[in-house]
Amino acid sequence: MNQKYLEKEIEKYARDILQARNFNRTKTFIQHGNMTVHMHCMNVAKYSLLFSKKLDRLGIHCKKRALIRGALLHDYFLYDWHDPDHVKLYNLHGFKHPFVALRNAKRDFGVTSREEEIIQKHMWPLTVIPPTCREAWIVSFADKWCSILETLHFHKGTGVVRIETGK
């Protein structure tokens, strides 16, 4: 499965998200190292698709639309979590950002209950209550996988992009 195929699938199910100015603001925030939140979320969506394809072959099927949209929006918190002001304001980023992301996603796009589950539970076990759908398990695993690759610099980003902000 190549990059072009994965990008086409994401585009097919989430064109509105990809084109939204507020979503593109995630290009201005760093996740780990030189990796923007935007690129991280794209990678998590791609790995979620890859893992779901593998499960497909085992007869375990997923709702692709929810999987992709939930993956893209799982870190839609829209602030720089490295900024000292935000560290103070958003203390305990690890615990709180799934709920901030969910609030923003509901406001800007509306989310299904499955997408809500994906966003809210992606930090499990930090957020204690485990995911209740397989799409949320897949995104949670893909997120951890991508974070490890970013931290070990196997995934390299291109740094922040300066863009006009606003929705």
- 61 vs 130, which CB is nearer to Fe ion? 130
DSSP label at 27?
G
Which stretch, 9-17, 69-77, 111-119, 159-167, contacts Fe ion (CB under 5 A)? Answer: 69-77
Q: According to the binding rule CB under 5 A, does residue 75 interact with Fe ion?
A: yes
- Which CB atom, from 75 or from 135, has the smaller least distance to Fe ion? 75
Q: Which amino acid is at 11?
A: E
Q: Would you call 36 helix, strand, or coil by DSSP?
A: strand
Listed ranges 1-9, 21-29, 52-60, 135-143: which one lies at the site for Fe ion (CB under 5 A)? 135-143
Which of residues 26 and 59 has its CB atom nearest to Fe ion in the complex?
Answer: 26
Decide: is 135 part of the binding site for Fe ion (CB under 5 A).
no
Q: Is 55 exposed, middle or buried (0-12, 13-18, 19+ CB in 10 A)?
A: middle
Shortest distance, position 57 Cβ to Fe ion, whole Å: 26
Tell me the helices (H) and strands (E) count for the chain, helix number first: 8, 2
> Whole-number minimum distance, CB 155 to Fe ion, in Å?
12
Distance of CA 40 to the CA centre of its chain: 7
Q: In this complex, which beta carbon is closest to Fe ion, that of residue 25 or of residue 59?
A: 25
Please give the structure tokens belonging to residue 167.
């929705």
**Nearest in space to 133 (alpha carbons), one of 153, 118, 147, 111:** 118
Pick 5 or 95: Cβ nearer Fe ion:
95
Helix (H) or strand (E) holding 93: helix 93-108
Q: Under the criterion CB under 5 A, does residue 150 sit at the interface with Fe ion?
A: no
Residues near Fe ion (CB under 5 A) are: 75, 143
